[in-house]
Amino acid sequence: MMKILNDLFCLISAIGAINWGLVAFLNFDLVKETTKLLSTVPYLDKILYGTIAVSGIFVVLSLFIKQ
């Protein structure tokens, strides 16, 4: 179960890193464009950014904590 969560958090963190690369190099925010398409959910962009942040924290912690 922990392996699946770790893989999921790694994937979400990679997507977040790709998004930041798109913002830096192409001035294109994938999260913002996604929330425009799904505008019926309030604060969806904050939920997505928060999910990416929590995933990144988990991945960093998993590097230092051996399981």
3-state secondary structure labels for all residues of 4-52: HHHHHHHHHHHHHHHHHHHHHHHCCCHHHHHHHHCCCCCCHHHHHHHHH
- Taking every pair of Cα atoms in the chain, the longest distance, rounded to a whole number of angstroms, is 41
Q: Where are the domains of the chain?
A: 2-64
Which stretch of DSSP H or E encloses residue 65? none
Tell me which residues of the chain have a pLDDT lower than 50: none
| Token pair recorded at residue 4 | 């699946």
User: pTM for the whole thing?
Assistant: 0.82
Q: What is the pLDDT of residue 13?
A: 96
pLDDT in tens, 15-33: 999 999 999 999 999 988 9
